[in-house]
Structure 1
Amino acid sequence: MRYAPLGTSGINASRVALGVMRIAEKSGEEASQIVQTALDAGINFFDTADGYAGGQSSQRFGTAIKDCHVERESIYIQTKFGIYRNPDSGDITRYDFSKDHLIKALDGELERLQTDYVDFALLHRPDTLVELDQLAEAFNELQNSGKVRHFGVSNVNPMQVELLQSAVDQKLEVNQLQFGLGHTGMVQQEFHVNMVDAPSLDHDGGLISYSRLKHMTIQAWSPFQYGFFEGVFLGNPKFPELNKELDRIAQQHEVSSSAIAVAWILRHPALMQVLLGSMTPSRLSDMAAGADIELSAQEWYGLYIAAGNDLP
């Protein structure tokens, strides 16, 4: 397992992390096996959110950490907050960056995770009604109390980062964004500069270049999905050229095609971190192996083209 700094936090985290969104579906024994598999692979960073399975994912993960006898200081735990769900239906009814909501949500996560602090807390999705003074007060209280050590955002564009950063004293260290061979928009636009075709449309405000300039780590979620949760591209007959190229390169490196898909993201010099969500220990091990693969520039570009992209 390779490791890299997360933003400017001083934390050296595993290049791949385990996202535990679906761990609530597993039994206690299965959850412990999943966490232990991640630890054995060298993963030291774990991601959750207060809204995953109504908080049950964080609770199951917290128990699994205890069952695996993991020393708290040996791992990094990240949660996300700022989404309000109707307590009866579970439906999302608003995004909420108010001080009261954020502090209450974080306290609930600490209880579920069975820990006194989280290493990172991320604002889960942008709240256009954010009161910046309330956000600053919440961050200060959470940091000064020792409950949160570092902060970041998720699914936020550069101008939104600038707005939030203007209000808070804490450096926003990470931005969690969908990225992978099935979701390449962030790099498509970088190639189609000064053009008028569809890939030239800048949907994200130059997120990759901005993140590199600001030393902000991109955490790539759903690295094997295409579209917005439309399905995985691995082994999917809709993507014959991509899977053919993945299999060819995987055979050369003697790893799985999923490891190569991970390695493709990590090859980018932006020093991204990949969030793995598999709840199958064998698959998790196969995917994590991608952190040790260094693709050549030609392999990276070959996969990008095989995924259906072009070079103008």
Structure 2
Amino acid sequence: MKKINLGNSELEVGEISLGCMRMNKLSKKDAAYTIENALEVGVDLFDHADIYGAGKSEEVFAEAIDMNDDVREKMKLQTKCGIREDYFDFSKEHILESVEGSLRRLKTDYIDCLLLHRPDALFEPEEVAEAFTTLKESGKVRHFGVSNQNPMQVELLKKHLKEDLIINQLQLSIVHTPMIDAGFNVNMQHDAATVRDGNVLEYCRLNDITIQAWSPFQHGMIEGPFIGNKAFPEVNAKLQELAEKKSVTDSAIATAWILRHPAKIQPVVGTMNPERLKDIAKASEIELTRKEWYELYLAAGNELP
């Protein structure tokens, strides 16, 4: 699998990562096979969050591979914090407590990258900065990022940080493209021209922040997969046509569509099916032409001005 560096850091990872939200539903044996298979196909960044399975997903992950120093060297671990029951919390106390919990559950001494999950309207950037400095100086977290944040939220945070932010996790799939749509429809008066995210795609490119695309196969707010879904006939027909042409699966084509963007976006795929992950990983070996990329964009129901 091709490698990328996250942000402007030396952190080199496979260009596709594995989201571990559903790992709490696996047996130890199945989880071990899922993780080992991921490493074999070059997927070496594992994305966690303290809320996934109420912490159980992190526990199952570490127990499945009998976490030790040799195993730890083969992978990069990323986790997120900030979502609590019925509210968001970027307080220094919660950030530090959350990291301690993740370290304990993952049975490791350090996290490669910590992300702030959903934006907290009540956050104090100075307080977050203090938490990040404490975690960095203690060696418990090596890099930092955010999730679902717009440029001004990131700028407000960066004003007080000593550390670089190297990641912003944002929802992106062929059927969820607002960050791309507005770029086509500059100075237009229809809905696609509405800038909902502060031009976050261009902002991240300008500031060397890697966008990690979550829910690359989902439509809506995790309402279900669009691949193979009869409600999306045009895009599925085009996915299947290109899959047959390139001898891969439709999921690999959907992943390749994201990888084709010059922003070097990293898809976070959440499958716990090892065989499906093998198929998806083949996206790293193919490159869609410019015409094919646009054909998929249009097949998803988008229009060009």
Q: TM-score, length-normalised on structure 1?
A: 0.96
Name the residue aligned to 1:126: 119
The residue that corresponds to 1:284 in the other structure is: 277
1: CA distance, partners of 2:225 / 2:169? 19
Correspondence list, 1:190-269, <5 A: 190-269=183-262
Match of 2:79 in 1: 79
Q: Residue 225 of structure 1: SS of its match in structure 2?
A: coil
Verify: 1:45 aligned to 2:45, yes or no. Answer: yes
Equivalent in the alignment of 1:136? 129
What SS does the aligned partner of 1:18 have?
strand
1:132-169 CA-to-partner distances (Å, cap 9, x unmatched) read 22111100000000000000000000110000111111
Task: Tell me the amino acid that sits aligned with residue 7 of structure 1.
Answer: G
**Residue 289 of structure 1: how far off its partner (Å):** 1.3
Deviations 1:97-117 (A, max 9, x none): 111111011000000000000
- Residue 145 of structure 2 aligns to a residue whose secondary structure is strand
Name the aligned partner's letter for residue 296 of structure 1: T
* Alpha-carbon distance, 1:128 to partner: 1.2
Shift of 1:69: 8.7
CA RMSD of aligned residues (A): 1.2
CA contact (8 A) 2:67 2:107 kept: no
1:32–1:67 CA contact under 8 A, matched in 2: no
Corresponding residue to 1:107 among 75, 88, 100: 100
8 A Cα contact 2:115 2:144, kept in partner: yes
Query: Deviations 1:7-36 (Å, cap 9, x if unpaired)?
Result: 011111111001110000011001001101
The C-alpha deviation readout for 1:237-285, integer Å capped at 9, x for no partner, is 1111111111111111110010000000000000010101001111111
- Report the number of matched residues: 305
Which runs of 5 or more residues in structure 1 are unaligned?
85-91
Consecutive unaligned residues of structure 2, counting only runs of 5 or more, are none
Q: Using the alignment, how far apart are the partners of 2:118 and 2:195 within structure 1?
A: 19
The AA in structure 1 aligned to 2:263 is A
Q: Secondary structure at the match of 1:252?
A: helix
| Separation in structure 1 between the aligned mates of residue 119 and residue 286 of structure 2, nearest angstrom | 34
Residue aligning to 1:10: 10
Residues 68 and 276 from structure 1, CA distance in 2 versus in 1: closer, same or farther, beyond 3 angstroms? Answer: farther
Query: Residue 107 of structure 1: SS of its match in structure 2?
Result: helix
Name the SS for the 1:167 alignment partner: coil
Contact 1:36 1:68 in 2 (8 A): no
SS in 2 for 1:103: helix
- State whether residues 110 and 117 of structure 1, in contact with CA within 8 Å, keep that contact through their aligned partners in structure 2: yes
Task: Give the Cα separation in 2 of the matches to 1:124 and 1:112.
Answer: 18
1:26 aligns to what?
A: 26
Displacement of 1:70 after TM fit?
5.3
Q: Distance between the aligned counterparts of 2:234 and 2:158, measured in 1?
A: 42
Contact residue 32 and residue 68 of structure 1 kept, 8 A: no
Of all paired residues, the percent bearing the same amino acid is 49
For residues 67 and 119 of structure 1, the distance between their equivalents in structure 2, rounded to whole angstroms, comes to 15
Task: Report the equivalent of 1:63.
Answer: 63
TM-score by length of 2: 0.98
Match of 1:185 in 2: 178
Secondary structure of the equivalent of 1:204?
Answer: coil
